[in-house]
């Protein structure tokens, strides 16, 4: 495994400089609500989109890193994910490099075995490109469903800002589709490659129904989470997941997310953005004190 991971890593020319990032306040001024807590509404759908690519799905389902598993350590897994998003979008070059090293340490343990039905390696930049693309798609798709449609120019601008979602790890700058048209072609081609077999489907339904949480949490939020997760999925992936949907549910979904978006929008910005600001603050504290970052 070490040789395989090193081989992939050595072939990947990694960027060590990124443009000066916007702050959380500046991002909110440019795209009001882009970092709001409404991201939790689409979190399940985004995970499914990532894991529907077989190499990613089996990499997570078979992962031996239980300390970072959503099934075993859901709070830690959430903290790690939001820390990565915050550092990639708002972190300095030094912070990105520090988090890259930390994530790479965990990724070295994620690779397929002879018994795996799908070959994968967490250092594979092609798999990371798909995950990063899902993260970008999630930002834009959630924003437009919850708040308002973005103009083509706004989408193109945010797309370029989102490059560090991939290039903070092993995705090279020249791998990131050049512009929005190129990304959309990559995205549609990527969706055609998605496949959810029974093993991965079982794993993803645990996430959709929140079965990794306590019985009380499942009872209170499980049905709602499945509804939101189903609503945010593209039709093709919804079909792969065998999730029922119709026009009535679609109308209810659209009304619900807009109402929730308006309600969250009434909160002060730091509270709306707490899902990103708190992990970023914790990351910077850990980094300053030399503590483990994940």
Question: Looking at residues 153-174, what average pLDDT do you find?
Answer: 95
Look up tokens 């081989």; give the residue. 7
The two structure tokens encoding residue 97:
């490099």
Label residue 75 exposed, middle or buried (CB < 10 Å: 0-12, 13-18, 19+): exposed
Mean pLDDT (the chain, rounded): 92
Q: Is the pLDDT of residue 119 over 80?
A: yes
pLDDT of residue 13: 54
Task: Please provide the DSSP assignment of 137-165 as one string.
Answer: HHHHHHHHHHT-PPPHHHHHHHHHHTTHH
Tens of pLDDT, residues 218-255? 999 999 999 999 999 999 999 999 999 999 999 999 99
Q: State the pLDDT confidence band at 37, using cuts at 50, 70 and 90.
A: very high
Q: State the pLDDT confidence band at 3, using cuts at 50, 70 and 90.
A: very low
Q: Which of 68-77, 156-165, 268-277 has the lowest mean pLDDT?
A: 68-77
What is the spatial distance between Cα 66 and Cα 196, in angstroms, rounded to a whole number?
22
What is the spatial distance between Cα 10 and Cα 12, in angstroms, rounded to a whole number?
5
pLDDT of residue 73: 80
Q: Is the pLDDT of residue 4 over 50?
A: no
Q: How far is CA 63 from the centre of its chain?
A: 17
Question: What predicted TM-score, i.e. pTM, was given to this entire model?
Answer: 0.92
Tens of pLDDT, residues 245-261? 999 999 999 999 999 99
Q: b/e map of 262-285 (b: 16 or more CB within 10 Å)? A: eebeeeebeebbbbbbebbebbbe
Question: Looking at residues 193-217, what average pLDDT do you find?
Answer: 94
The two structure tokens encoding residue 9:
């890593």
The residues spanned by each domain of the chain are 32-283
Tens of pLDDT, residues 7-29? 444 445 566 789 899 999 999 99
pLDDT of residue 294: 87
Q: Is the pLDDT of residue 280 over 50?
A: yes
pLDDT of residue 1: 41
Q: How far is CA 198 from the centre of its chain?
A: 22
């Amino acid at each position: 495994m070490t040789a395989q991971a090193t081989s992939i890593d050595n072939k990947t020319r990694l960027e060590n400089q990124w443009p000066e990032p916007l702050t959380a306040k500046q991002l909110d001024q440019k795209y009001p609500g882009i970092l709001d807590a409404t991201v939790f509404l689409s979190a399940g759908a985004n995970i499914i989109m990532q894991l529907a690519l077989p190499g990613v799905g089996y990499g997570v389902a078979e992962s031996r890193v239980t300390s970072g598993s959503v099934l075993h350590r859901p709070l830690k897994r959430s903290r790690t994910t939001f820390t990565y998003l915050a550092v990639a979008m708002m972190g300095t070059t030094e912070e990105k490099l520090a988090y890259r090293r930390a994530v790479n340490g965990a990724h070295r343990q994620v690779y397929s075995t002879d018994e795996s039905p799908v070959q994968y390696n967490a250092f594979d930049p092609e798999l990371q490109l798909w995950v990063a693309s899902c993260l970008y798609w999630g930002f834009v798709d959630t924003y437009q469903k919850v708040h308002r449609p973005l103009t083509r120019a706004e989408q193109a601008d945010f797309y370029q800002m989102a490059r560090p979602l991939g290039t903070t790890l092993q995705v090279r700058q020249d791998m990131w589709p050049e512009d929005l048209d190129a990304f959309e072609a990559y995205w549609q081609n990527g969706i055609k490659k998605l496949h959810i077999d029974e093993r991965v489907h079982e794993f993803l339904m645990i996430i959709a129904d929140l079965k990794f949480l306590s019985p009380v949490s499942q009872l209170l939020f499980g049905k709602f989470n499945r509804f939101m997760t189903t609503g945010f999925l593209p039709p093709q992936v919804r079909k792969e997941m065998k999730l029922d949907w119709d026009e009535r549910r679609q109308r209810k979904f659209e009304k619900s997310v807009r109402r929730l978006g308006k309600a969250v929008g009434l909160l002060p910005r730091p509270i709306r953005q707490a899902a990103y600001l708190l992990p970023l603050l914790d990351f910077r504290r850990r980094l300053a004190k030399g503590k483990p970052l994940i």
